[in-house]
Every structure is written in structure tokens, then in C-alpha cells.
Amino acid sequence: MAEDQYTREFTLAHFVQVMLDVASGHRPTPHAAFRRRQLDAIASVSAFYRKLGRMEPALPAEIVRRT
């Protein structure tokens, strides 16, 4: 791999921010929150949803429960 290349990836904080935006009513959908937070600079919305789909279901549920 060339020295100037790097891997861009979503962190847990990105997912928590998006889910909090939706759970608190600031954004109507995860897609809207994703776009508003400009996460497409990291990777595509489809990559975001793929990773979200692989997350433990308890995490988004806990975010919603605590909001």
C-alpha cells in the first residue's frame, strides 16, 4: 500500500450520533442524519447501512431507549 493511502471507516461515535439525531427527532431518518453530518466524506451511505446492519441490535435499541 502506498504511504499516502489510508483507510476511511466509520467509528462507533458516528453511528451513535446518527441514531441520536433520529431518536431525538432532529432528523426523520438515518439517511437524513447521515447526510446532515456529512458522513459521505468518510464513505458511502450504502457502506454506512451495511455496517449498521452488522451491528448488535441492542446498541441502536439502547440509544432509543435512553433518549
Q: Is residue 47 part of a domain?
A: yes
Q: How many domains does the chain have?
A: 1
**Residue 52 domain boundaries:** 12-66
Q: Is residue 4 part of a domain?
A: no
pLDDT tier at 2, thresholds 50, 70, 90: low
Neighbours of 39 (CB within 10 A): 19
Instruction: Output the pLDDT for position 39.
Output: 94
What DSSP character marks residue 43? S
Q: Is residue 20 part of a domain?
A: yes
The grid coordinates listed for 32 are 437524513
The grid coordinates listed for 53 are 446492519
Q: Is residue 51 part of a domain?
A: yes
The overall pTM is greater than 0.85: no
Q: Is residue 58 part of a domain?
A: yes
pLDDT in tens, 9-62: 889 899 999 999 998 999 999 999 999 999 999 999 999 999 988 988 888 788
The grid coordinates listed for 21 are 439525531
